[in-house]
Amino acid sequence: MNAAASSALLAVLIAAPVTGALIAFLLPVRLRATAGILTAAATTAATAATAWRVAADGAHRHALGGWGAPLGIDLYADGLSCVFLLMTGIVGLFVSVYAKPFFAQPEENKGATELFWPLWLILWASLNGMFLSADLFNLYVMLEVMGLSAVALAVLSGRPPALVAGLRYLLAAIAGSMAYLMGVAMIYGAVSALDLQIVAAGIEQGRSFRVAFSLILVGLLVKTAVFPLHFWLPGAHSTAQAPVSAILSALVVKASFYLILRLWVDVFDGSVTVAAGQALGALGAAAIIWGSYQALRQRRLKLMVAHSTVGQIGYMFLLFPLITVVYQDVAEAPWLAHAWTGGVYQAIAHGFAKAAMFLAVGVFAMAVGSDDRDSTVGLVGQLPMTTFALALAGVSLIGLPPSGGFVAKWMLLKAAFTSGQWWWAPVILLGSFLTAGYVFMVLRQAFAPTSHKIKLKPVPRTMEVTALVLGAAAIIIGFRAEEFLLLLDVEAAFQEPVEPHRANDR
């Protein structure tokens, strides 16, 4: 495969799901699920091919329209983008498989659910676009495509609580993207470019850069739902239908996190400061405590899982204070690689675990007819596979070995100690305890012996299996750290770690 053809793969990753979405929309309703799953399989295959090419030949760049930066828009894939693309591909494929029988159930097939497939495939295209685009303004358009399709999916059922939560989500998303765009406008004014690489070369010290990056950052923090900007998330994620909740929690918040990470280490590394890193870490720490505590208090399973997302997002933000430190040369800061990998690993592991958890809760809710915590009493006997999936996902969220979540939290913990920033360690541990609390509360109910056997509605076997596969994936990536690291290191955005010695002299 020559270079041009493999760089065309990047465009395929966006064009293929869109093609599938349009075809699905034009097809009669009964054929849409099949078209959707075929598209999902094709997109996942293209994702795998891209990751393989990038691992073999290094980073790829595709100049859309043949113009190239600065005038045109480029797509760019390196190890970091491929890791997120792969996570999206795998989660997306299994959620698609789950969604087909899910929406075939009459009680879930209400409102405008016939639009699930076009919306979800466009959302997928925009997620891929978020991970690939190298143009600040194109990223704004991608953010909007992602936001609109995510909200549309969240209100698919048409139930009033979902509508209210959806409107709140939409307004928060619009405000976030406007703050982002304001920052982009100022960056364009300062460096006359939109391409990430060219912008990175033009970044200087100065008030306008700091203000611009702050605006961009705040806009993206709203979209990532970092405490205290998470107000829209629990409602929107818990009122959506199960496959949609899985997509929103596992994938959509990761895309804006990815963008923050990319901008922080690749573009604005000259204008971030140690204090800014600590501030992001503090927000993350507050999110861990607050989100996990709220999750512990919820009686409805979906609300619990949604609040748990707020807490788990917090862990990803512990990465920023740990990589933004003063040092003379890289050898002096051996924890950088740990912090970096730990943060990214957390995003990936949470993606699998949270998708599995929402899908499993969806199975429970469908079988019992309610997602109240107490209604799951003794379900292990009747739905062993789903209970097991929930347990696997929970193990990864808590961070018990051997799981993806364990690797992530362990690396963050290690980095916190070696870097001397020990104050993050108690937060990580406390978060794990709280998480263990709510996970075991559900499991205790599920494993509780009951005298009476509850009459359950039969649930399609495919749904149970997909939840289990994703739960298993959250564990398996704990064993597969090496391959993961090899891929992540391709043209690592992190080769030149954040340069706080420049940043420190403000």
Partner 1 sequence: MIAEIESHQIYAGTAGILFCLGLAGLFMCGHFLKKIIATKILGTSVFLLLVSLANRNQMEFADPVPHAMVITGIVVAVSASAFALALARRIWKETGRSTFEDNP
Partner 2 sequence: MTLLDQVFDIVVCLLLLVLAWRTLSATHLYQSAIFFIAFGLTMALAWVRLAAPDVALAEAAIGAGLLGVLLVDSLRVFARPPETGRDSEPNKPESRDNDVTTSRRRPQFNSAVASVTAGAGCLFLAYVLVAAIHDLPDGGGLTAQAAENLSRSGVEHPVTAVLLNFRGFDTWLEVGVLFLAMLGIFCAGGLVGFSETENPDPPGPLLSWLIRGLAPVMILTAAYLLWLGKLAPGGAFQAGILLAAVGILLRLAGIPLMDRVPRTVIKLGLTFGFGTFLVFGIIALLADKAFLEYPSEWAGEVILLVEAAAAISIGFTAFAFFAYLNSRDQSTGNGDTAGQPRETNPSQ
The stretch among 117-125, 162-170, 381-389, 413-421 that binds partner 1 (CB under 8 A) is 162-170
User: For partner 1, which is the closer residue by CB, 52 or 137?
Assistant: 137
- Smallest distance, Å, CB 176 to partner 1? 11
**Which residues contact residue 141 at a Cβ distance below 8 angstroms, ignoring those fewer than 6 apart?**
none
Structure-token pair, residue 447: 């494993």
The stretch among 158-166, 236-244, 389-397, 401-409 that binds partner 1 (CB under 8 A) is 158-166
- Smallest distance, Å, CB 424 to partner 2? 29
How many chain residues touch partner 2 (CB under 8 A)?
63
DSSP letter at 250 equals I
Residue 171: name its binding partner from partner 2, partner 1, none (Cβ under 5 to 8 Å by kind): partner 1
Task: Determine, following the binding rule CB under 8 A, whether residue 12 of this chain makes contact with partner 2.
Answer: yes
Task: Determine, following the binding rule CB under 8 A, whether residue 150 of this chain makes contact with partner 1.
Answer: no
Task: Determine, following the binding rule CB under 8 A, whether residue 160 of this chain makes contact with partner 2.
Answer: yes
Task: Determine, following the binding rule CB under 8 A, whether residue 160 of this chain makes contact with partner 1.
Answer: yes
* C-alpha span between 408 and 362 (Å, rounded): 27
- Smallest distance, Å, CB 83 to partner 2? 23
* Selected binder of partner 2 within 37, 49, 148, 377 (CB under 8 A): 148
User: For partner 2, which is the closer residue by CB, 65 or 458?
Assistant: 65
User: For partner 1, which is the closer residue by CB, 14 or 353?
Assistant: 14
Contact 371, 496 (CB under 8 A): no
Residue 5: name its binding partner from partner 2, partner 1, none (Cβ under 5 to 8 Å by kind): partner 2
DSSP letter at 300 equals B
* Selected binder of partner 2 within 32, 60, 62, 237 (CB under 8 A): 62
Binding flags for partner 1, 86-125, as an x/- string (CB under 8 A): ----------------------------------------
Beta strands at 73-77 and 60-64: parallel, antiparallel or unpaired? antiparallel
Task: Determine, following the binding rule CB under 8 A, whether residue 185 of this chain makes contact with partner 1.
Answer: yes
* Selected binder of partner 1 within 42, 48, 59, 188 (CB under 8 A): 188
Task: Determine, following the binding rule CB under 8 A, whether residue 137 of this chain makes contact with partner 2.
Answer: yes
Task: Determine, following the binding rule CB under 8 A, whether residue 279 of this chain makes contact with partner 2.
Answer: no
Phi and psi of 147, rounded to 5°?
-60, -50
User: For partner 2, which is the closer residue by CB, 149 or 324?
Assistant: 149
Pick from 214, 220, 322: which is nearest to 268 by CA?
214
Q: Give the three-state DSSP class for 73.
A: strand
Angle, alpha carbons 54-203-277 (nearest 5°)? 80
Output the DSSP codes for 20-67: HHHHHHHS-HHHHHHHHHHHHHHHHHHHHHHHHHHHHH--EEEEETTT
Structure-token pair, residue 352: 């699998």
The stretch among 14-22, 268-276, 281-289, 472-480 that binds partner 2 (CB under 8 A) is 14-22
Neighbours of 402 (CB within 10 A): 12
* C-alpha span between 466 and 161 (Å, rounded): 28
Alpha-carbon distances of 170 from 152, 163, 176, 193, 358, rounded to whole Å: 9, 10, 10, 29, 22
Contact 487, 78 (CB under 8 A): no
* Selected binder of partner 1 within 174, 274, 289, 472 (CB under 8 A): 174
**Which residues contact residue 16 at a Cβ distance below 8 angstroms, ignoring those fewer than 6 apart?**
39, 42, 43, 46, 125
Residue 3: name its binding partner from partner 1, partner 2, none (Cβ under 5 to 8 Å by kind): none
Q: According to DSSP H, which parts of 369-423 are helical?
A: 384-398, 404-418
Residue 181: name its binding partner from partner 1, partner 2, none (Cβ under 5 to 8 Å by kind): partner 1
Task: Determine, following the binding rule CB under 8 A, whether residue 189 of this chain makes contact with partner 2.
Answer: yes
User: For partner 1, which is the closer residue by CB, 229 or 393?
Assistant: 229
- Smallest distance, Å, CB 163 to partner 1? 5
User: For partner 2, which is the closer residue by CB, 138 or 346?
Assistant: 138
- Smallest distance, Å, CB 145 to partner 1? 9
Q: Give the three-state DSSP class for 331.
A: helix
* Selected binder of partner 1 within 20, 89, 147, 343 (CB under 8 A): 147
Contact 314, 226 (CB under 8 A): yes
Phi and psi of 450, rounded to 5°?
-125, 150
Output the DSSP codes for 141-166: HHHHHHHHHHHHHHTTT--HHHHHHH
Contact 310, 291 (CB under 8 A): yes
Chain contacts with partner 1 (rule: CB under 8 A): 71, 137, 140-141, 144, 147-148, 151-152, 155, 158, 160, 163-164, 166-168, 170-171, 174-175, 178, 181-182, 185-186, 188-189, 194
Chain contacts with partner 2 (rule: CB under 8 A): 4-5, 8, 11-12, 14-15, 18-19, 22, 25-26, 62-67, 70-73, 110-112, 114-115, 118-119, 122, 129, 137-138, 141-142, 144-145, 148-149, 151-153, 155-160, 163, 166, 182, 186, 189-193, 206-208, 210-212
